[in-house]
Structure 1
């Protein structure tokens, strides 16, 4: 599959004199969280990414020619046990996740070119790893293709259509009446 990568970013990676970085944005219930693989804060595209350094871990992104959902994972360690309950309550299953690959000038926090959107998906499932004094939370990330394997909780009624963004739709107005009709066959 062809990809469009910013020409200055591609040239920087080809030169070999850059520091590759990963930027990540995950939506939680309380706020959107932006993190990057370096140390300190990094501003890009109107967002401030907080550096997690060695406390963050990223899973591989897998691709294939077959049509199936390939996912990834992200983990954050060093979480104080006091914050575990609040951390778990803030995780939103199905929340959007974006992961960019980019590069910075060595010794700076200046991005080179436009970061490449490497992964766009959603939060699927959290896992918790507990230790004596530290906790790590890992989030399984999936592409939106995973939704095709899940059962839909939608109902084919006018109320469902109106509640899900189609207030002027009248196509299902007669569906509920069909439940009360006794049809005689043959």
Structure 2
């Protein structure tokens, strides 16, 4: 992780006493939610991050030597019902980011928080407790696309999904079923013999 930390943040996190914090940004269909793990509003990246107690925990992100897709999740509590409905109906694949930061002795954020995880919305689930409903939002790593099978086929239908006006594969399917003979000579299909070409200027 240290390879991407700013010097100020690294020094603060490795100090004898430190005040770490987490920040979460979620881009939903109709709104963007920015929360952080502390109390009160926090200003960073020219944006306001709410410290209203909704953000309860963050789990799942870790560095690995091999290239692999890993997920992460965030737990929320005390969220109003209208926000819960928007989250539960959010589009699959909406982006989300998690940051690790630290506060200085004045309680201000130290530039710049470290991007721990960036992924795509997978499944939001809710623990329906009437007193205090909890939501767990799971994200897929951006590398999850490496695990998906590719369904592209070499035919005109697949080609037109990417290049609508391209006709390069228009006859690919029929060519695969063709049983004729490739030749630069005309062939009498009935006798399957080459037909002699007439020569210009030949005497009758």
Shared fold (TM-score, shorter chain, > 0.5):
yes
Deviations 1:110-137 (A, max 9, x none): 1113111111111121111111333111
Residue 93, structure 1, aligned to residue 92, structure 2: yes
Gaps of 5+ in 1: 164-169
Structure 1 counterpart SS, 2:158? coil
> RCO greater where, 1 or 2, for CA within 8 Å and sep 6 or more?
1
Alignment of 1:27-176 (within 5 A): 27-53=27-53, 55-81=55-81, 84-89=84-89, 91-106=90-105, 108=107, 110-152=108-150, 156-158=158-160, 160-162=161-163, 172-176=166-170
For the pair shown, which has the larger CA radius of gyration, 1 or 2?
2
Contact 2:41 2:49 in 1 (8 A): yes
RMSD: 2.7
TM-score (norm. length: structure 1): 0.80
Q: Deviation at 1:107? A: 5.5
Specify whether residues 140 and 153 from structure 1 end up closer, same or farther in structure 2 by C-alpha distance, changes over 3 A only: farther
- How many Å separate the matches in 2 of 1:4 and 1:38? 23
Gaps of 5+ in 2: 182-204
Specify whether residues 185 and 128 from structure 1 end up closer, same or farther in structure 2 by C-alpha distance, changes over 3 A only: farther
Contact 1:80 1:135 in 2 (8 A): no
- Partner residue of 2:12? 12
TM-score (norm. length: structure 2): 0.73
Aligned residue among 157, 172, 191 for 1:178: 172
- Partner residue of 2:196? none
- Partner residue of 1:25? 25
Structure 1 counterpart SS, 2:66? coil
Q: Deviation at 1:86? A: 3.5
Contact 2:54 2:78 in 1 (8 A): no
Structure 2 counterpart SS, 1:3? helix
- Partner residue of 1:166? none
